[in-house]
Amino acid sequence: MELYLESGYTSLNKKGEELCGDKVESTRDGEYTTVALADGLGSGVKANILATLTSKILCTMVSNGIELEECISAVIQTLPVCKTRGVAYATFSVVNANKQGGGCLFEFDNPAAIYVHEGKCVDFDRTARNYFGKTVYVSDLNLAKDDCIILMSDGVIHAGIGKALNLGWLRTDVMDYLNRTIKPSMSARCVACLLAGACNDLYINEPGDDTTVAAIKIREVAPVSVMVGPPVDKTRDDFYIERFLSHKGKKVVCGGTSSQIVARYLRQEIKSALHFPDKDVPPIGCIKGVDLTTEGVLTLRKLLELSEKYISDSDITPKYFTKRDGASMLANILFEEATHIRFFVGQSINSAHQGLPIDITMKLKLVEALAKNLKAIGKTVEVQYD
C-alpha cells in the first residue's frame, strides 16, 4: 500500500490585528515533508516577523537534514531581542516525516502536539533535551495509515477566556472535542479548520490571541483522473479514452462532448439528472464505469470559485462539501479525497460554443488556475494536453 503525507493549516488573527503573530511554513523534498509552526512573541507586526523568521529558518534547515542543535542555535542567534521582555524567540513546533510515517517532532513552548491514532487522541512519548538553556521536547514518529498530528499555538488553549469560558479551553477539552468530531475521511486541511472553527466560536468571533492549527496526516494514495474536453485528433479518440481509463483511481469527465465520447467507448448510455441542487451549476450526468460526469466550463468556473475559498489560510468554514451539484461533488473529490490528480485536457474547439463567450483559451486558463490552487494545498498535479 502506497502512502502519502499531507498537511494543512489555518489561522485566526487576534482581534484588531491585520497580521497574524503565528506562521506556518511547509516544504516537501522527495520522501520527506517538513512543517514548522512558530508563534511570535506578542502580537501584530513584531510577532509576525519573529514567527516568519523562526518558521522559515527551521523549515529550511530541518528539511535539508541539518542537526537539531544547529537549527535551534541559528534561531537563537538570528532573532532580535525584545527590549521590554529581554527575550528573543518565538515558540515553535516542527514535524519532519517521510511517506512511510517515520520521522521526528520537536517542540519548544507551544502546547504539546496531539497525536490522533486509530481515531482517538493520545499523547506522544516526549524526551526533554536542553539546548542553550532552553528545553526542547523531541518525539520519534512512526505513523500508521490515517494517523494525524495536530500542532497548535497557545491561542487554541486560551480560546474562550473571559468570553464563553472562564479559564479557557484546556488541552484535554481539545482532545475530547476532536474525539467526538474528527472522522477518518477528513483531510489534514479539514481537521485544522474544524479545530480553528471551534476556537473561533469560543472566542465569539473576536479572538483574544493569534490562533493557528496545523495538521499533518498520513493516508493512502488516492489518484483521480479528470478528462476536460475532447482531443484535437478525432481519429484517435479511442486511444485517448483508453489511456484516460487505464489509470488507477476515480475517473471524472467534464463536458458534454467528452461524456459522449467516453460513453460511446464504454458502450453505455448517458443518464442525465433532472434536479438542480444549484441553479448556477448545470446538472450532472451518469455513465456506468465513470465516477462523476459533469458539464464543462460553467462547472469548472464554479469549481475554481470553491477552490479559491478552500485554499484561503484564514477561511475556517467546513472543508467537506455536502451539496450534490456537480461543482461541489467534484470539489470534494479533488480537494478532500484525492492526493494525486491528472488532468487530460482536450484542445478541440467545440462547435456548440460558436458565437458564445466560451473558447478553448478560457478552458485552458480554468484548468491552469485549478492546478495552481490544488498544488498550493499539497496535491500532486499533472496536466496533459491532447
Domain locations in the chain? 3-220, 223-385
The CA distance from 26 to 38, in Å, is 12
Q: Alpha carbon 154 to chain centroid distance?
A: 22
Fold annotation for 3-220: Phosphatase 2c; domain 1 (3.60.40)
State which amino acid sits at residue 85: R
Contact (CB, 8 A) for 25 and 59 = yes
pTM listed for this prediction:
0.89
The CA distance from 12 to 22, in Å, is 9
Sheet containing 250-254: order of strands: 271-272, 285-286, 292-294, 250-254, 223-228, 340-345, 380-385
Contact (CB, 8 A) for 212 and 48 = no
Contact (CB, 8 A) for 83 and 137 = no
Helix (H, G, I), strand (E, B) or coil at 222: coil
Per-residue pLDDT tens digits of the chain, which is 386 residues long: 889 999 999 999 999 999 999 999 999 887 899 999 999 988 889 899 989 999 999 999 999 989 888 988 888 777 776 666 666 578 999 999 999 999 999 999 999 999 999 999 999 999 999 888 888 999 999 999 999 999 999 999 989 887 767 677 889 999 999 999 999 889 999 999 999 999 999 999 999 999 999 999 999 999 999 999 888 888 888 899 999 999 999 999 999 889 999 999 999 999 988 777 888 899 999 999 999 999 988 999 999 999 999 988 778 888 888 888 999 999 999 999 999 999 999 887 665 555 554 556 788 899 999 999 999 988 999 999 98
Helix (H, G, I), strand (E, B) or coil at 93: strand
List beta partners, residue 319.
Answer: none
The CA distance from 74 to 149, in Å, is 26
The CA distance from 241 to 383, in Å, is 15
Which is it for the CA torsion 12, 14, 17, 19, positive or negative? negative
The CA distance from 333 to 223, in Å, is 10
